[in-house]
Amino acid sequence: MSLALPAFEPLSLALLALVIAAVLLDLALGDPAWLPHPVVGIGRVIARLERAWNHGPAADRRRRGRWLTVLVVGATWVLAWGVLAALSWVSPWLSAAVELVLLATTLASRGLADAARAVAEPLTRGDMAAARQALAMIVGRDTAELDESELARGAVETVAENTVDGITAPLFWALLGGAPLALAYKATNTLDSMVGYRSPRFEDFGRASARFDDAVNWLPARLTVLSLWLAACLIPGSRLPGVLATTRREAPHHPSPNAGWPEAMVANLMGVRLGGLNYYAGRPSPRATLGMPHERLTAGHIERAIMYMHGGWLAFLLLALPLVLLREWLI
């Protein structure tokens, strides 16, 4: 038997079926604590290399940062491909089962929804302390003084931004290259979250990681905006007129070249304002505002953002279906 994995070619019906099964598995189980998560191992490797390499002159740190990106992303792809190829020698079904589990670990629809609801539920019953603590688990901003509207804003922004990082971008790369490419994407995302900061420590060392993360998210972020808009066409109460043009105008004002797109779309669909002033360790960090404040943000908007998230990834897969069918027809 060859080391190739012919059952799951890019944009094939077999791969699409496997990706859909992975989505359903993630929705059912999320990230169970008993199951080792690949991102944890990737994070440990990044942390060890960062301690060993992030020192010396700026030029050296930039060079080592580029090697960090190449090494972590490349090794993740090679290791995942190698494991699946070796398992395919034993049994194609075993290889497919392991690939299904690996794909599910790259997705975060269940975890993202649960984390957002952990903010919404205490907020609904007026338990501000619990809502602030829950939000602090998923954002880096200060939460101790936030009121209901600001707490809801933090949760809605998290759901909107991570619809790309946690769901649609992994789906995009999975459809092109199965679990190995999806895991390579998660390695990229993990690099950005650990070293891709504009701070004295990471400004030089994390530059390559941050730029590569921006590059691999560029197309998925914009496809996600289209997917969210398509899903909103079926969600009552969505403010659809002019929302695509407004999103296109507002998104580039966000500090991230990609995060502003889903945030602007969700803000405009719901008629709320996202962005504004955040505080990090007591220091103010102003952000461009997105959307028009037709409604004051409340706990109810968090659940609505989750609805858009689920509609968005479903529409994303539906958009992929014609491409898969066209490929099958051409072959």
State yes or no: pLDDT of 119 exceeds 80. Answer: yes
Per-residue pLDDT, averaged over 171-197, amounts to: 96
pLDDT single digits (tens) 282-316: 999 898 999 999 999 999 999 999 999 999 999 99
Question: Are the C-beta atoms of residues 164 and 4 closer than 8 Å to each other?
Answer: no
State yes or no: pLDDT of 5 exceeds 70. Answer: no
- Give the contacts of 105 (CB within 8 A, at least 6 positions apart): 31, 35, 37, 38, 39, 183, 186
Number of residues written out for the chain? 331
Q: In the prediction, which pLDDT does 155 show?
A: 98
Q: How far apart are CA 190 and CA 169, in angstroms?
A: 13
Tabulate helix, strand, coil % of the chain (nearest 5): 70, 5, 25
Share of the chain above pLDDT 70, in %: 98
> H helices of 54-196, where?
58-90, 92-105, 109-124, 128-136, 148-163, 169-195
Cβ count near 116 (within 10 Å): 25
Q: In the prediction, which pLDDT does 2 show?
A: 40
Q: In the prediction, which pLDDT does 198 show?
A: 84
Per-residue pLDDT, averaged over 177-184, amounts to: 97
pTM assigned to the model: 0.95
Better-predicted residue by pLDDT, 331 or 50: 50
**Assigned token pair, 266:** 């969700």
State yes or no: pLDDT of 331 exceeds 90. Answer: no
Give the angle subtended at the CA of 229 by the CAs of 29 and 152, to the nearest 5°. 60
- Domain span at 251: 6-330
User: Closest Cα to residue 155, out of 263, 73, 265?
Assistant: 263
Q: In the prediction, which pLDDT does 8 show?
A: 72
Per-residue pLDDT, averaged over 44-63, amounts to: 97
Q: In the prediction, which pLDDT does 66 show?
A: 98
Cβ count near 293 (within 10 Å): 13
1 located within any domain: no
Count: domains in the chain? 1
State yes or no: pLDDT of 19 exceeds 90. Answer: yes
Q: In the prediction, which pLDDT does 132 show?
A: 97
235 located within any domain: yes
Q: In the prediction, which pLDDT does 256 show?
A: 92
Mean per-residue pLDDT over the chain, rounded = 94
Q: In the prediction, which pLDDT does 3 show?
A: 42
Q: In the prediction, which pLDDT does 229 show?
A: 98
Instruction: State the pLDDT confidence band at 28, using cuts at 50, 70 and 90.
Output: very high
Per-residue pLDDT, averaged over 66-94, amounts to: 95
pLDDT single digits (tens) 245-289: 999 999 999 999 999 999 999 999 999 999 999 999 899 989 899
Q: In the prediction, which pLDDT does 7 show?
A: 54
Per-residue pLDDT, averaged over 156-178, amounts to: 97
Instruction: State the pLDDT confidence band at 328, using cuts at 50, 70 and 90.
Output: confident
